[in-house]
Amino acid sequence: MKDLSGIELCRNLKSFSAISMIESVDVRALLSCQRLGYLRLSTGIDHIEALLDLPALKEVRVLDDGIYDEVTTAGTPARHIFDTLKDRGVSVWVHWVSATQPTPPAFE
C-alpha cells in the first residue's frame, strides 16, 4: 500500500493506523470516515487541521518529529489544533522519533 486511494469508500472505518509503508497521510482523505474514532500515524502527515472535522475521534497518536516540534511550541497552528482536540475530550499523544539527550516527554 503506497497511498490512501479508495479509503473514502470505507465509511464505517473506526480505527486506522499508518506506519512506514505510506510516506505521508493526507488527513483530508479520512474525512468520509465519519465513524473514525482511533487514529495512529507514524508517517508524514499533511493537513492536520482536518482532524478537527472528524466528529467521532476519541484518540489520536502521532509519532513525528515535525509535528512534535510544532505542538510543543505555544502559538503554532499545530498546537492550536491539538489543544482544541484535547478540549473536545480527544486523547492526544504526540511523540518525537529521534531526539538528542535529554529526551523530552510526549505531548499529551
Between strands 59-63 and 91-95, the pairing is parallel
Integer Cα distance of 70 and 79 in angstroms: 6
pLDDT in tens, 76-106: 999 999 999 999 999 999 999 887 768 888 8
Place 8 in a pLDDT band, splitting at 50, 70 and 90.
Answer: confident
Task: Identify the pLDDT of residue 98.
Answer: 84
Q: Which residues pair with 93 in a beta bridge?
A: 61
The pLDDT of residue 23 is 79
| 70, 48 contact by CB (below 8 A) | no
C-alpha grid cell, residue 53: 472535522
Q: So what's the pLDDT on residue 35?
A: 95
Task: Calculate ∠ Cα 24-29-108, nearest 5°.
Answer: 65
Of 73, 4, 1, nearest to 33 (Cα)? 4
Average pLDDT rounded to a whole number, residues 15-24: 82
Cα–chain center distance at 15: 12
Residue type, 101: Q
93 by Cβ neighbours in 10 Å (0-12 / 13-18 / 19+) ranks as: middle
**pTM, rounded to two decimals:** 0.87
pLDDT tens for each residue of 30-81: 999 999 999 999 888 899 999 999 999 999 999 999 999 999 999 999 999 9
